[in-house]
Amino acid sequence: MDLQDRKALVTGAEGFIGSHLTEALVARKCKVRAFVCYNSFNSWGWLDKLSPETLQSVEVVMGDIRDSHSVRSAMKDCELVFHLAALISIPYSYVAPDSYVETNVKGTLNVLQAARDLGVKKVLHTSTSEVYGTAAYVPIDEKHPLVGQSPYSASKIGADQMAVAYHSSFGTPVCIVRPFNTYGPRQSARAVIPTIITQIASGRKKIKLGSLETTRDFNFVTDTAAGFLAAAECDLSVGETVNIGSGFEVSIGDTANLIIGLMGGGAEIETETSRMRPEKSEVFRLLADNSKAKALLGWRPIYGGRDGFERGLKETIAWFTRPGVLDGYKSGNYTV
């Protein structure tokens, strides 16, 4: 499917990945309708920071993914849906699990039902590597068991299975895009890489973190956005689940030390108990098998391997240390 001149709805467009995806779709000359969570501040999230030229090509609609009427209204006349709207903070899912079911499962149901009723040509549903839990084997392919080790991951498993059910039951044209740990400019400080960068950039000499031994497969945000585009363009992706990951594994401790080195050194790492997940809820190891994305979608990470990871970190550090950026982050607070 050629994306040029296609009308696409992006739910969660105001977020970290959603805003980058919106930019990428505009660059492909796609007609973008951005579905943004209603708020009384009239904030469009990160969309407010996009260039005026980009925003001229975006129709912004405010609503609530939990409300079926607003979802259906936003989806009218759209051929494609990129469904990214979700609650994603794992620590907050321990505090407010019901909201994760309402937003992630019920919200996804609203998207799928509206897409079915309106005859949408393809739904790109966003999953997460957290649904795999701690790796039973590596690299993790799409056949790996799904394990809900947190309320967040359980809600995303439920959302994924709802997407599978709608495809199996009603033929709804769904592709499940499963990104591994995305990082880059505009990410919330609840994520580990911005947490490290903002603490150092704020002049702190002791960097507070949770578990240092856990490993992750970090994927630069433009690579993640490119994965969504590739899945949308590939006619064979309907009914498939596809990992989008770099295929490079690194521990949180090594990541922190690498960032400290890139930012001039001098900082020490402290483990803070409040930042640790419950032991049985912690996902200790993630490493993507991205061979299906390469074979089926023709997608390859531009920021793959250690060299690519270092390049991505440099770009991320450069963005966070631009004048005024830190003003939007509370680096001294632990954000759940």
What pLDDT digit, counting tens, does each position of 65-86 carry?
A: 999 999 999 999 999 999 999 9
Residue closest to 261 by CA, chosen among 184, 320, 313, 315: 313
The answer as to whether 177 is a domain residue is yes
| CA–CA dist 31, 119 (Å, integer) | 18
Query: Is the same domain home to 85 and 30?
Result: yes
Query: Is the same domain home to 279 and 232?
Result: no
Query: Is the same domain home to 238 and 276?
Result: no
Query: Is the same domain home to 211 and 147?
Result: no
Question: CB count, 10 Å around CB of 293?
Answer: 26
Residue 111's Cα: distance from chain center in Å?
Answer: 17
The answer as to whether 95 is a domain residue is yes
Per-residue pLDDT band for 167 (boundaries 50, 70, 90) equals very high
| Separation of first and last alpha carbons in the chain | 39
| CA–CA dist 15, 39 (Å, integer) | 14
Residue closest to 172 by CA, chosen among 115, 111, 242, 229: 115
In the chain, the number of structural domains is 2
Per-residue pLDDT band for 279 (boundaries 50, 70, 90) equals confident
Query: Is the same domain home to 261 and 321?
Result: yes
Residue closest to 80 by CA, chosen among 17, 182, 156, 2: 2
Residues 6+ apart with CB under 8 A from 178: 127, 128, 129, 131, 142, 241, 242, 243, 244
The answer as to whether 13 is a domain residue is yes
Dump pLDDT digits (tens) for 291-308.
999 999 999 999 999 999
Report the relative pairing of strands 80-83 and 7-11 from DSSP bridges: parallel
The answer as to whether 2 is a domain residue is no
pLDDT, residue 273, reads 84
State yes or no: pLDDT of 241 exceeds 90. Answer: yes
The answer as to whether 336 is a domain residue is no
pLDDT, residue 271, reads 86
Per-residue pLDDT band for 272 (boundaries 50, 70, 90) equals confident
The answer as to whether 228 is a domain residue is yes
Q: What is the mean pLDDT of the chain?
A: 96
Query: Is the same domain home to 238 and 312?
Result: no
Higher pLDDT, 274 or 123: 123
Query: Is the same domain home to 77 and 169?
Result: yes
Query: Is the same domain home to 177 and 284?
Result: no
64-87 burial: b if 16+ Cβ within 10 Å, else e? bbbebebbbebbeebbbbbbbbbb
DSSP 71-90: HHHHHTT-SEEEE------H
Our CA dihedral for 214, 219, 225, 227, rounded to 10 degrees, sits at -100
State yes or no: pLDDT of 27 exceeds 80. Answer: yes
Do 256 and 269 form a contact (C-beta atoms < 8 A)?
yes
The stretch 140-165 carries a mean pLDDT of: 98
The stretch 245-269 carries a mean pLDDT of: 94
Query: Is the same domain home to 143 and 228?
Result: yes
pLDDT, residue 190, reads 86
Query: Is the same domain home to 232 and 85?
Result: yes
Query: Residue 280's domain is classified under what CATH number?
Result: 3.90.25.10
pLDDT, residue 38, reads 97
State yes or no: pLDDT of 164 exceeds 90. Answer: yes
pLDDT, residue 168, reads 98
| CA–CA dist 36, 44 (Å, integer) | 6
Query: Is the same domain home to 46 and 128?
Result: yes
Per-residue pLDDT band for 276 (boundaries 50, 70, 90) equals confident
| CA–CA dist 144, 132 (Å, integer) | 7
Query: Is the same domain home to 135 and 239?
Result: yes
The answer as to whether 314 is a domain residue is yes
Considering the entire predicted model, what is its pTM?
Answer: 0.96
Do 210 and 275 form a contact (C-beta atoms < 8 A)?
yes
Full residue range of the structural domain in which residue 306 is found: 192-216+248-328
The stretch 147-174 carries a mean pLDDT of: 98
The answer as to whether 93 is a domain residue is yes
The stretch 168-192 carries a mean pLDDT of: 96
Query: Residue 59's domain is classified under what CATH number?
Result: 3.40.50.720
Q: How far is CA 291 from CA 75, 156, 179, 223, 287, in A?
A: 32, 23, 14, 15, 12
